[in-house]
Structures are given as structure tokens and as C-alpha cells.
Structure 1
Amino acid sequence: MISTRFRLSAVALAALLAGGAAAQTAATAPMNRIVQDNAYQQLDYFFKKLVAEKEAIVIDGYAPFKAGDKFLPGKVAAGLGHVLLNSAKDDPALPQRLRDYRDIADMTVGMDNHTWGIYYYIGTLVKLKEAGLLEQAVSPATLEKLRKQLDWRTFVTVPQYDLINLPTNYYGVAFSIARLRMLMGWEDDSGSKILLDKMLTHYKKYSGKFGFSDETDGEGRFDRYSILLIAEICERFLETGLQPTPELKGLLRKAADIALNVSNTAGDGFSFGRSLGPYGETALVEILSVSAYLDVLTADEKQYAYAFSSRVAARYMDFWYDPAMHSLDMWGKGRRTDAYRGKHRILGENFSLLHQLIYTNDTWNKAGMKDAPPKADLQAWLDRTRPQFSTTTFAQGEYDRALTIFRDGKHVVSLNIINGGISQHDNSPYYPLPFAPGIVSGIADSGSAHPQLLPKFTMADGTQLIGTAWIKDIKTSQAGQRYTVSYRQDELDRLGKKGPVKDGRIKLQTTYTLEHGQLTRNDVYTPVGTQEVEKITLEFASFSEQPSIDGGTVTFAKGDVNGYSVTGLQQCQVAPTNGSKDYMAPYGAMKTLVTCGTGKLTMKEPLTIKWIIKYH
């Protein structure tokens, strides 16, 4: 049953999401109440369903144990473990829950469980041991099997300590497992010491002098995870009984600044890169909660970071959770997520997000905010204390990588200028676009068939080019309340391969202008010699509706964006998206597609293509 207190917060949040008068002041329930009154009920539902249906469990038409989710046994152990750990010792239902947990552990012990699944599982065993529940919750035979299975050596070579076909951030997972094995009494600390050194060496190598981790081996992919990773490292220290060093806290402060700069009253999260939706929101809560606990935030920042975190928790229950499904919904209602978070993983996704909400809530509780009423004047505080425009440099050298954030009332615009690199360069969440919820969004795993807001050149030889990867000389400037971001590309990205390919036939100079209610992109494409172009296309998939078009200008009667205009291309047309999967954001469907283009041309002179988005 959802408490009355939370139902009131849901009304406030609905007004807030609708942009009503309540948006400036709408407070929500304390985070601890939202989690206690909702997250545990959701876990309890899954617990009972698993007890009844065992490995044949079906959720909204999907059979999780038949879907090849390699983390699922660990996530099940963690999710159901939270129910045990949250039960009072004298709860008459606890003995049966412990017996049921034991049966489910016996059932899953023979299933594939890799890396993160191992981490989730062993972390739960340590907590059950500390609570004095381990012997009742896991049979001796299953515990002995788990002692052999829950081992970092399943994905790290010994004695070389190399990861086996995994990205380097998995050193953090391996380190945690080694420390947790030590806390279980299953090994000494020698392995964890080497893995700690490997983890920190990796972080330094891939974060360079600016402190944010490249997701690739130097290609320049910086996304949500690049900012979150330092918070995860600090969490790994704390959960295994170590204190993060002053250097790590200094790096965490940089991540906290970004998290505060994108905070908002709607509970929206990161808007660029992969794995967004609720994960883009809980990532910010992870950064802010551990920052508060480690006193990396000021007392004032802590209060408002907590207010934002409470709104994220409320948004999860109000927006992402579907009571009719008894599940999180990242897949219906016009929403689209990355393929590796597909609906076949529905049970694991519920468990991992509820786990994130529970442990970040625990961190806030330990930071002194248990049941504290969240500050109601979050928007006013953000307007007063956070910069209207900020730039975070990720990398400099032959190519520049940076994130600029522009705050405009309730809107937060994130222009992330990076290289998606292998497997992501042609996906729109990695394009250098001014992402803002309800205004501009990327599309998960979009590919390059419909590049969002980037002109696509189809050359006479059939190759297709867009300006995404080879960015140089990022510069920012300010004139009053108008901010300018510019950069150049000596090569465009030739599409069609897994990674970006340089094509030097056309150079590009891009200038963004960000100001109240308006985003402008001005591109100057300069041919090297004479270039034969078959066609140029430019698409904008907008959340706004009821369009009318006059030449290159579209006005919308409904939605945050009320105007979009294009110059430099010959013709534009508008059409409804009709629910096409090609035009869905993590949080809902785009409604209108504006397509502009030019036919064959011989490029001898620079060509300027400009678009302007106007919004409420």
C-alpha cells in the first residue's frame, strides 16, 4: 500500500512534471519514506512471486531465467536479501522468509552468474553474515558452492592480474569481490591489494589530468559512467571497510559539481550517452549521496542534493514504476532503452534499480538525512547558487573533449562534445548536441539512418559523412546572457564501420549559441577542392506536436519546443512519427519529424547550414 504521505508527493510531482505553478515549490516526501513505503513492497512482491513460480517465473510476458541474464542470480540474492535485512528480528514472517530465501539460493546456485552478479551476491552474503542471518538464509552445501563460484579469479588471470576480455573498469568489481571474500573469511587481503593498485592505476591512466575516465582506450568517449566511476570507487572503499584517500575525495568533488549543475526539480538525470532513463537519474543520486557522506559537499549543498535525490526517488515510483505491471517500465509507453537493457532482463533491472535506491537511501540516512523533510525551494537554490553556464574539460590534445552545461530556469541543457568511438560513434546519444529533457534527446542504439540534428552528407560515391568524432579547439565565450561554444573538425566521420573513420573531403566549423529560450547551431562546411555531393539531409525528431510549416520554419502549438527553423538547405517537410521505434527517447516518444534536405550539388565554396530551436 502506498502511504498517504507519498500520494500527496505524487500529486505535487505531477504538477511539477506538467510545468504547473507548483513546479517552483513542490516538495516531495523524505527519501527514506519513499523507499520504505514503496521499494520494499516491490521487492516483497517479487519475493512471493519467485517462491510461487521458481525458475518458471514470468513477468509481463517475459521469462527472466530463460533470457541468459548473466547477472541475475546475484541480483536476485541482493534484491531478496534487502527484504530479509529490512525485517525486524521479531517479525513473525522472518523465519519463513529465511527458508524461502534458502530454497531460492539452492535453485540459482547452478545458474550462470558473472562479474557484477558475483559482486551483488557476495555483498549480500557479507551483510547477512553481519546481521547473524547467513546460516539460516543459505544452506551449508550451497554456501560451499558459492565460496568457489563467487570469485574474482573467474574473470581475472593469476598471477598476471589481467582482465579476461572485459573493459578496465571491471578492476573495481574484482577489487570489491576480493575485499568481500576477505570479509567472508574466504581469502586473505593479498589479492585485493594488487587489484586496488590495478584499479587506481587504470583510473589515473584513463582519466588523465582532468579526472574523468575515458570509457575507451583513449578514443575520447566520456559519458554518464565517466562521471559516476569515481563515486563507485569511493563506495567500494566504504563498503569494504576502507576510507577513500584525499585524492579520491578531490576527484569526487569534480563529479559532484557536475551532478549539482545538472540537478533540477523534475528529478531528471543525465541526458547524454548510453544507459539513461532511471539509470541516468540514480547515477546522480549515487554521486551526491556518497559526496554528502564523505563531507565533500558543504552543509548547504548537502540539504539541496538530498532534496534532489528525494525527487529522483519519487520520480522512480511515479514515472518509471508501473503498478499494473508490478514492474519498472523502460520499454513501453513510447520509451526505448539500450539493447543490453532489453525487456528480457526485466527482473534483473527491477532488482538493480531498487538496490541502487535502497543503498543510496542508506547512505543518505548515514549522512544524517533519515526522514528529513526535503527543502521545498530547490529551484530557487539552484538558480541562486549554480552557474548558468559551466564547462568541464575531459581531455585536451590532438582532439578536445568537454561537457558544457547551460541552465535556463527549469531546463538543463547538456552539450557533451566527445567521440562515441567504437560501437557508439554513430548513435545519437553520443552526438555533440544540446540535450535537454523534452527539448532534444538522443535515441538509444539509433545508428546513423536518422542522425538527430546533424546534417548527413551522402557523397557521389555513396559514402555518408557526419560531424561527430574528430573535434578540435573547443572554445567558449559569453556576451551578457548569451553563451557561445565553438569547435572545428578537419575530418568528418565516414559512416558504416563499427568505429569512426576519418574522411578529409569536407572540413567543419561549428558554433553553438545558448541563450534564454533558444538554442542555435551554425555549421560551416568547407570542401577540400571540389566535392560532388549526392544529397544532404537534416532530421529533427521533436517531442512537440501540432506543427505548421512555412518554408524552413516550423512552429508547434503543443510541447516545450515552440519553434524550429533551418537555413542553408532547400526544402523542409513535417510528418508525425506515428509511434516509430526510430523516434523514441528513454522517457517517451518523439511526436513530430522535421526533415530538411538538398539534392545534388557540386561543392566549391563553404556551405553554411544553421538551425534554431526555440522553447518555452
Structure 2
Amino acid sequence: MKGRLTRLVLAAAIALATVAPAGAAGLSPRGRVYRTAPPMDQTVSGRILPQLDGLMDQLIADKAAMTVDGVKVFQSNDKFLPGKIAVGLTYPLLATPRTDPAFKTRLAGYRALADLTVDQPNDTWGIYYYMEALWMLKKAGLLDQAVSPETLAKLRTQLDWRTFVRPDLTLIDLPNNYYGVAFSIARLRMLMGWEDETGSKALMAKTLDHYRRYSGVYGFADETDGDGRFDRYSILLIGEISQRLIETGVAPPPEVKVWLRKSVDLMLPRFNTRGEGVEYGRSIGAYGETCFLEVMTAAAKFGLLTPKERTMAYAFSSRIAARYADFWYDPQMRSVNLWEHGRRTDDYRGKHRILGENLSLARQYIYTDAIWNDLGFKGATPEPGYGAWLKTLPTYTVTWFAKGTYDRMLLTLRDGDRVIGLPLISGAAGLHMTSPYFPIPFSPGMLMGVPNGTSPFLTPRLTLADGAALMPLAFFRDIKVARAGGRTTVTYRQDEMDRTGKDAPVADDRIAVDTTYVFEPGRITRTDTFTPKVAVAVKGADLEFGTFSGAPHAVGLTTRFSEGAVRSFKATGLDDCRTRDVVADKDYHTPVGALTTAVTCHRGAFSLTKPWSLSWSLDYAPTAPAS
């Protein structure tokens, strides 16, 4: 009982010493500034592992009747859940001293839960999680006690990568990052003695082949087959592959090291004092932060970081862990909060998966912490000079993803303590017309998209008389970035607009557009010039700005805010702009909290016969105040 009591006492002490998590109450979209942060291992062992203790004890007690924040977890249609339960509960089980009376109770409870879930749906990632759990138990000498022979026999048949990979090694209706999942399963089956290494070798070759084919010379994998979706997964995928190599004892091929270092180079200029992560694309929120953990710990393990980079990567990791405990975990829900108090995530990570999200997120913190511990950072105080080091990072970085028929890139800017990103990518099928993939500036807690939201955030939408809704979203050509003093200018053209409304982008060449962005300290300006091929009847043009700023005062096309980071928003080329409070409107909820105000601008019907320009500018506080 000593080990568990120690974790609970430490958790209580840390919680009392911690500032209340403003984000969990819906009061702040950013959370705390960590001028200093506790050692990562202190947060993981003292705050995150006790959360798993509680979930394990609740699962053992409630079994199939368990609920988390009102969700009946075994009626949630979470097809990864049995695997997440298996691996998530393995950590508190192995952390419980075998002399503790609770150990026998937990071991028996684990065995009963394995029997309970063995016949429930468990797909892809769930299979991998379960295989990892079995391998951990086997290494600990507990497999036979934790899983009954009958259940283990069923699992040996069920936990197979061939359930989602065809004999010719093509995936069955899944994105290409699932090759890494299949490899991990095959490798773990080999370690368990359930198959030889033929499958894992073939799947690793397939994974690397996909990476070569769709990353080209720039080293970031397109999540699609060449349609240009370079998002969090493109940065993370090589980190996931590397973590699976580490877990299963495989030396990284040279190419993996090269690709992993490219993700490191993208991430380093984005380090910050709050532990904030990727701010655009899908499945971000807490997962936008753990992707930094996975990439950086793998790079440290493989010796790809300089001594200074490794020290600062650990300092940032400690802040990410503290942010999870302070900002993302909600004590009242007794759960990570990705869905309530103004927060929203994409459908893939809906609240029906609440138990699984708690288990998988905690697991990521635990195994990345273990890597830092192995590298000598256990209990280490993060570098006191981290804040000063941040000031030495480049204020502007251009990361290319692709050049060719269409260009794809990410601009990263630092302005005070703000990180601002401009992704010029495509959401591709299913996501191209959702605002997290728009070609607009994003900044954690200041400029955010709405998961699955389709309002024309900072991007004009032209509705034609024939009903077509055209937006400049996907077909970027001739991207140029220029830097002069503190001013960054980005220009590009699109010979086709995206005719929205279909699953995938549809190129419509009736109107071309030239776009110019100008970034200056405290100000962003965008100008679009639309040129028709022939005269086009336009029913109306719309533009919208959703912001965390409040107390708006609108005069004409200019709106000023008395509260929040954004101070003003101004449009030109439109007829009118109006403001409204949207805090209670779920269509304006973001991964970090509810937007406060929407500014909607419109131009009535007109005939587009010559080039027409529309622009907007926003002013913001260059340095965010510490919370």
C-alpha cells in the first residue's frame, strides 16, 4: 500500500501548490505561464499516475456499469477501448508494490476485466495497445496471472494486424499512418512468440516506402496519397514510428533519423512557456502537445539533439506535462476535458471515447517520461535559463512540405511569447472546407479554428448566382516568403477556387485569386484579389472572424475590443460587419475553449467583371500577459 499512498499524498500536495486550472473552468483559452516547472517525473508520478489508479479501481469495482462524467463507457462504441483498458491499467498494476495488499486485488481485477472485454470490438490501435500490454506483462512475469488461458487463447487469434491489412499489404480503408500500427502489432506478436519476423519486416518496409513516396525531399509524410494534407500527423508520424522501434528494441534505419530530425527542426522554434503545441489541423488539443513529447523523446533517445537542445526539450516536456495536469485534466469531471466548458474536438475524438482518451493520453506521458528518466533526467529540475533561451530562437521559420503542381508549406513566427503559424496545406477529402485547415494564421489561445466548423473564418467565401460556393482553400501555387526587418510578407496565387460542398476539393477556374499576407509585430494583414476568367454573377461575399476577445465596439467595417488579446479587426471591400456574442454557441467552440465574439462581414450581389480586392487586418497585443 506504501507505493499507492505515496502517489496519492504527492498528488494532493502538488494539487494544493498549483494555481487553479483556469482553462478547465472555461475562463482562459491559454492556461498558465510556467516561468518554472516541476520535474516531469514529479508531475507524472504524482499527478497523472494517480489518475490511472482511480480509473483502475473504479473499473474493477463497477465493471460494465462504469460511467465517466455521465458517459456509459462500455456502451460508447469506442472500438479501441479493450486495448486502451489493457495497456492503461498495466501501468498502475506494475507500479503497485507486490507486497501491497492492493496488488492482489488489482491483479485479480485486471484478469476479470480481460475476461469481460475479450469479446468486445477492438480494432487497429486497440489491437496494438493490447499487444503492448501483454508484452509488458510478460516481461514483468505476470502474464499468466493477469490473463486467463482461455482469454489469452482468444487474444492470440484476435490481436492480428491482418484484420486490417490485405495479403498484398494494402490497408483496408485506412489512412497510411496505420502501416506503423500494423508494424508494431507484427513486431510485438513476434516478441510474444506468436509469429516470425516476416510480417514486421515487410510492414516496416511498406511504412518507409510510403514515407519516401509522399514526403519527397522535404521529409514530412502527406497523410493522404498526395493531396497535400500536412498536419499534426505529418509532423508526428515519424515520432510514432520511432517510439514503436524503441518499444520493440529495433535500431532505427538511417532514413528514420533524418526524417525525425526534420520534425525536430520544425518543432524547436515553436517551444514556449505554456506547454502549448500544434494549433492547426485535426485531433489537436492535448494531442497537439503530446506529439512534441513523442518526437523530442525519440530524438533524444536516438542521439539527434545537441546537449543544449536536449536540455531545453526536457524543460519543454516538463511544461507540457504540467499543462496536462493543470489545464486539460478537470477534477470535477474526474477526467481529461476535451469536450466541456466551451471545448470541442473533432468527431473522431468525441466524448463517447472519454475513458479511452484518459487512458491513452496518460500512457503517452508515462512512457515519454520513462525515456527522459532513462536519459538521466529523473527528478531533474528543468533548466532555469529556459525562458532566456526561448528569446534566442528564430523569429521566423519556413518549413516546406511539397513543391510541384501545388505548393505546401508552414510559416512559423514568434512575436513576444506568441507563436503564430500560417499553414498553406489542404485538408483534402473530408476536411478541406473546415476551418482548422484554412490558409489562415493560427496562434494558441488567440487565433483558432473550430473542429469540423465551416464558417468562412478569415477566408472569403463567394457564393455565385448558380449556387456554387467558392473559397480559396487548396490550390496554392508560387508561394513566396520575404523578410525585411520585422516584416514578413507571404504571397501566392490560386488559378482555381475550391467549390465547397463536396467531400474532396473541386477545382473551379472561373475565378483566380492572388493573396498577400503581411505580418508585423502586433498586426496581421491579408489581401485577396479575385480575377474572373469571364464575367461572373456573385450572389454575395462573406467573411467571418471568431475571437476570444470581448466587449466589441463596431463602427462601419472596424471592430475594436476592450477585452482580450486581439485589439481590433478591420475589413475592406465589403458592405457591412456585425458582431455577436457566441460563447454559448457550440459552433464557435474550439479545442481550448469557447470563442467570445464573432464578427460577420458581407457584401451583397454584384457582377465580377474585373479584379476585385478584399482585405482584412487585425491588431493584437504583441506579448501576452502572464497568468
TM-score range, shorter chain: over 0.9
- 1:579-610, CA deviations, whole angstroms, 9 ceiling, x for partnerless residues? 11111110001111111111111112211111
Distance 1:93 1:270 in 2: 40
Q: 1:239 aligns with which of 229, 233, 247?
A: 247
**Which residue of the partner structure matches residue 427 of structure 2?**
420
- 1:83-137, CA deviations, whole angstroms, 9 ceiling, x for partnerless residues? 1122233333212211111111111111111110010011111111111111111
**Which residue of the partner structure matches residue 118 of structure 1?**
127
**Which residue of the partner structure matches residue 229 of structure 1?**
237
Q: 1:451 aligns with which of 415, 439, 456?
A: 456
Q: 1:561 aligns with which of 542, 563, 566?
A: 566
Amino acid at match of 2:54: Y
Distance 1:131 1:69 in 2: 28
Q: Secondary structure at the match of 1:438?
A: coil
Deviates more, 1:595-604 or 1:269-278: 595-604
| Residues 349-368 of structure 1 mapped to structure 2, 5 A cutoff | 349-368=357-376
Contact 2:11 2:50 in 1 (8 A): no
> Aligned-pair distance for 1:247?
2.1
The answer to whether 1:184 aligns with 2:189 is: no
- 1:154-185, CA deviations, whole angstroms, 9 ceiling, x for partnerless residues? 11223x22222222221111111111011111
Q: 1:164 aligns with which of 167, 172, 176?
A: 172
Cα distance change on mapping 1:5 and 1:482 into 2, 3 Å: farther
Distance 1:349 1:13 in 2: 19
Q: 2:66 aligns with which of 49, 57, 73?
A: 57
The answer to whether 1:67 aligns with 2:87 is: no
Distance 1:5 1:262 in 2: 31
The answer to whether 1:572 aligns with 2:570 is: no
Q: 1:474 aligns with which of 463, 479, 483?
A: 479
Contact 1:12 1:26 in 2 (8 A): no
Amino acid at match of 1:408: D
The answer to whether 1:87 aligns with 2:92 is: no
Cα distance change on mapping 1:492 and 1:552 into 2, 3 Å: same
Amino acid at match of 1:223: D
> Aligned-pair distance for 1:18?
7.5
Contact 1:211 1:251 in 2 (8 A): yes
Cα distance change on mapping 1:337 and 1:13 into 2, 3 Å: closer
> Aligned-pair distance for 1:439?
2.0
The answer to whether 1:407 aligns with 2:414 is: yes
Q: Secondary structure at the match of 1:414?
A: strand
**Which residue of the partner structure matches residue 3 of structure 2?**
none
**Which residue of the partner structure matches residue 296 of structure 2?**
288
Higher relative contact order (CA 8 A, sep 6+): 2
> Aligned-pair distance for 1:343?
0.8
> Aligned-pair distance for 1:7?
3.9
Distance 2:13 2:22 in 1: 15
Contact 1:512 1:522 in 2 (8 A): yes
**Which residue of the partner structure matches residue 139 of structure 2?**
130
Contact 1:13 1:26 in 2 (8 A): no
**Which residue of the partner structure matches residue 624 of structure 2?**
none
| Residues 160-559 of structure 1 mapped to structure 2, 5 A cutoff | 160-384=168-392, 386-447=393-454, 450-559=455-564
Distance 2:401 2:340 in 1: 35
Distance 1:204 1:55 in 2: 45
> Aligned-pair distance for 1:333?
0.7
> Aligned-pair distance for 1:13?
8.2
Deviates more, 1:5-14 or 1:31-40: 5-14
Distance 2:310 2:481 in 1: 30
The answer to whether 1:153 aligns with 2:150 is: no
The answer to whether 1:97 aligns with 2:122 is: no
> Aligned-pair distance for 1:348?
0.6
Distance 1:18 1:378 in 2: 24
Deviates more, 1:85-94 or 1:483-492: 85-94
Distance 2:482 2:519 in 1: 11
Identity of aligned residues (%): 50
- 1:277-319, CA deviations, whole angstroms, 9 ceiling, x for partnerless residues? 1010111111111111211111111111111111111111111
**Which residue of the partner structure matches residue 605 of structure 1?**
610
- 1:168-206, CA deviations, whole angstroms, 9 ceiling, x for partnerless residues? 221111111111011111111111111111111111111
Cα distance change on mapping 1:79 and 1:560 into 2, 3 Å: same
Distance 2:557 2:456 in 1: 19
Q: Please give the TM-score of this superposition, normalised by the length of structure 1.
A: 0.96
Contact 1:10 1:314 in 2 (8 A): no
Distance 1:476 1:509 in 2: 14
Distance 2:14 2:289 in 1: 19
Cα distance change on mapping 1:578 and 1:18 into 2, 3 Å: closer
Question: Which consecutive unaligned segments of at least 5 residues does structure 2 have?
Answer: 1-7, 622-627
Distance 1:517 1:13 in 2: 27
- 1:476-530, CA deviations, whole angstroms, 9 ceiling, x for partnerless residues? 0011111111111001100111111111111111111112111111111112221
Amino acid at match of 1:443: V
Distance 1:270 1:322 in 2: 21
- 1:530-572, CA deviations, whole angstroms, 9 ceiling, x for partnerless residues? 1111111110011100011122111111101111111111211
Q: Secondary structure at the match of 1:498?
A: coil
Contact 1:278 1:320 in 2 (8 A): yes
Alignment length (residue pairs)? 609
Question: Which consecutive unaligned segments of at least 5 residues does structure 1 have?
Answer: none
**Which residue of the partner structure matches residue 42 of structure 2?**
33
Distance 1:212 1:615 in 2: 32
Cα distance change on mapping 1:5 and 1:388 into 2, 3 Å: farther
Distance 1:338 1:512 in 2: 28
Contact 1:9 1:27 in 2 (8 A): no
Amino acid at match of 1:521: R
Distance 1:8 1:322 in 2: 15
Distance 2:77 2:12 in 1: 40
Q: Please give the TM-score of this superposition, normalised by the length of structure 2.
A: 0.94
Distance 1:598 1:293 in 2: 55
Contact 2:21 2:327 in 1 (8 A): no
Distance 1:419 1:397 in 2: 14
Distance 1:367 1:409 in 2: 32
Distance 2:612 2:104 in 1: 73
Q: Secondary structure at the match of 2:318?
A: helix
Distance 1:19 1:369 in 2: 30
Q: Secondary structure at the match of 1:90?
A: coil
Q: Secondary structure at the match of 1:538?
A: strand
Distance 1:499 1:177 in 2: 32
Cα distance change on mapping 1:348 and 1:168 into 2, 3 Å: same
